[in-house]
Amino acid sequence: MPIGKNCQIHPTALIGADVSIGTSVTIGPNAVLTGPLEIGDDCWIGAGVVLGAPPEILGALHPISWSVSAGLGIRIGARTTIRELSTVHQGSERRTEIGDECFLMNRVGIEHDVQVGNRCVVSSGTTLAGHVSVGDGVNLGMHTVAHQRRVIGSGSMIGMGTVVVKDVPPFSKAFGNPVSLQGVNRIGMSRSGISEEDISAVAAIYAAGTFEGLSTIPASLQEAFTWWRERADKPLVS
């Protein structure tokens, strides 16, 4: 159980076997950490957080000892904050991952095999079901619920209370039950330094409701769209 320098770990926290903790990590009261689990440098783990519980799959192994690993692992990136009472489950088919510089608010549920990119905000009460993929720089509003295996593209903004049953494209605004595309995330794109010309090009695509191949996507944004298209099988735009 390697623990880096300058960590502040509350004495009531439970840390099981096969847990690796980076430098300058803070872990709050009554947190439960079980492996395989890797936590990057400068993370902040709040009170009552549970990292490493077995996948919530009927018939999955539930060990009788905290010293036994129970899944394919979890990786928490550097400088990520996970607030109180949030839960991240072990992977069953791939490692569960939360990227660098993410901010997870209180009572967030990250189920097995979920992969969240870098610099994402996951607001209070949000639940991501198994195998969900979230790109970089995504903002998930309070009480977002994502169905299993859905894909949320980079730079998108999901409104509070949204039920994500289709794959949300990059740099979009989307909300509703069920989720509905509401155009381009113009403010988020502008804050990320994306040019007005490129923002307008994506806005035109979403207004049309269809792609005419990746050649219509601005060159600077093609990587994000390629990532999404490779994973999406129920896209909001086709």
CA–CA separation, 52 and 35 (whole Å): 6
Cα 132 to Cα 123: distance, rounded to the nearest angstrom: 16
* Catalytic residue list contains 112: yes
Report yes or no: 31 and 49 within 8 Å, Cβ to Cβ. yes
Question: Among residues 89, 112, 131, 147, which one is catalytic?
Answer: 112
Whole-number Å distance between alpha carbons of 226 and 203 = 17
Cβ atoms < 10 Å from Cβ of 112: 25
CA 86, CA 53: separation in Å to the nearest integer?
A: 12
**Catalytically active residues, by annotation:** 112
